[in-house]
Structures are given as structure tokens and as C-alpha cells.
Amino acid sequence: SAVISQKPSRDICQRGTSLTIQCQVDSQVTMMFWYRQQPGQSLTLIATANQGSEATYESGFVIDKFPISRPNLTFSTLTVSNMSPEDSSIYLCSAGVLSETQYFGPGTRLLVL
Amino acid sequence: QQQVKQSPQSLIVQKGGISIINCAYENTAFDYFPWYQQFPGKGPALLIAIRPDVSEKKEGRFTISFNKSAKQFSLHIMDSQPGDSATYFCAAIQTGANNLFFGTGTRLTVIP
């Protein structure tokens, strides 16, 4: 299994600003993903973070709003840009050698005022 | 459209009882079905998973039952304990694809 850490664990931000969330994995993994989870709700995949190339976004999510970087096999960032209160959510990073077996980080709890 | 349907939304079980959570899917291309356990303020943790070539998988007190013809699978927690109180998510994915589709979650409360 992989141990995944995220920073920050939580933040309160003003609308119109941007926040970058970091995800660090303790071992080299093939796959890294970013999810959004509304409190008390299910998880929705935002994008697959690809090493050295542009992320693959799911329907409803765009690069301008959620730019993602993955410079190496163990690190990725997700930026939530030009935030609005609707972006208030929990953002989760997951990783694994295979996409079927994903291990999740603790999440970043974001509140946009 | 919800790819994986999960029920019940919430479940209250007495300590020592059996907790049963059910999931159903439509996409026959799915071939890997994990269950995740999530405690408040934490990320989901992989609990147990099954492939459709077996009808049952057991790990300790946790058992997955799989009915391929009905496209249904369920999680059974035997001898439920207060420490099992958490939200449980079923999920499904097609091997090689990236999108792990999650159910809507079941909030389990085990009362002493």
C-alpha cells in the first residue's frame, strides 16, 4: 500500500483567490488522481494526474479552473483557481500502482467565503 | 447518471450484529469492485475488493458477496463493533480505465 499526505489539511479562502493543494506519496506509483467530495456525499473524479504531461480531466472539470501538475512519480498539485463558494468541498488525492487499487490521502477541507 | 447504486443510505446495527450494505451496477465492463471505509475527517481507506470470477471473498469480519448475473454485490460486516461506525462506499472500475465510480455511501452506526 501507499501512504499519502496532503497539504494543507484545511483552509479558508476568499472568493476570487486560488489555492494550491499538494499531494505526496511515500513510494513510486503509476497513477495519481484528484477527487472532490462534498461533505456527506460521494466522491467525484476531477482528473488523472499524468507525469510529465497534461492531466486528463473528467466531464465538467477544466484545466483553467483546476490546473494540475505532476513533476515526478510521487508528487502532484491541484490548484483551485478563481474560487467561489461553490468550490467549498473536500479535495482528495489518491494514488496506486494500478488504477483499480487506489489509496487516498486525508483530504483538504476548503471553505470559500 | 449514477454508475453504482448503493443502499441503504444509513444503517444502525446493534453491537455483535451483522451489517449488510448493498450495491448494484449496470456496466458489465466493470471487473473490479472495491469497498472503502471512511471515518469523519479522514480519507477513504481501501477495505476489501473482489473480482467477478469469485462469488465471495472474506477478510476477517468483512465479506463481499458477488452476484454477477444480477450485477449486484454486498458487504457483510459480521460481529459489528462500535469501532466499525463509519461511512462505507462501494465502487466499481473497468481494468485499465481511470475512473473509479463510487456509490453514494452508507453511514453505519453500531450502537453498544
Give the pLDDT score at A32.
94
Q: Average pLDDT of B42-71? A: 95
Looking at residue A29, what is its pLDDT?
A: 82
* CB burial readout B80-112, b (16+ within 10 A) else e: beeebbbbbbbbbbbeeebbbbbbbbbbbebee
Of B41, B44, B99, the CB nearest to A104: B44
pLDDT tens, position by position, A24-65: 999 888 899 999 999 888 999 999 999 988 999 999 999 999
Segment B49-60, tens digit of pLDDT: 999 999 999 999
Q: What is the pLDDT of residue A20?
A: 98
For A60-113, write each residue's pLDDT tens digit: 999 999 999 999 999 999 999 999 999 999 999 999 888 888 999 999 999 999
All three cell numbers of B82: 462500535
- At B97 the pLDDT is 87
Residue A30's pLDDT is: 85
- Mutation target to probe the B interface, by most B beta carbons within 10 A, among A43, A70, A103 is A43
pLDDT score of B35 more than 90: yes
Set of chain B residues whose Cβ sits within 8 Å of the Cβ of A4 = 43
Residue A110, chain B, CB below 8 Å: the answer is no
Report the alpha-carbon angle B36-B82-B40, nearest 5: 50
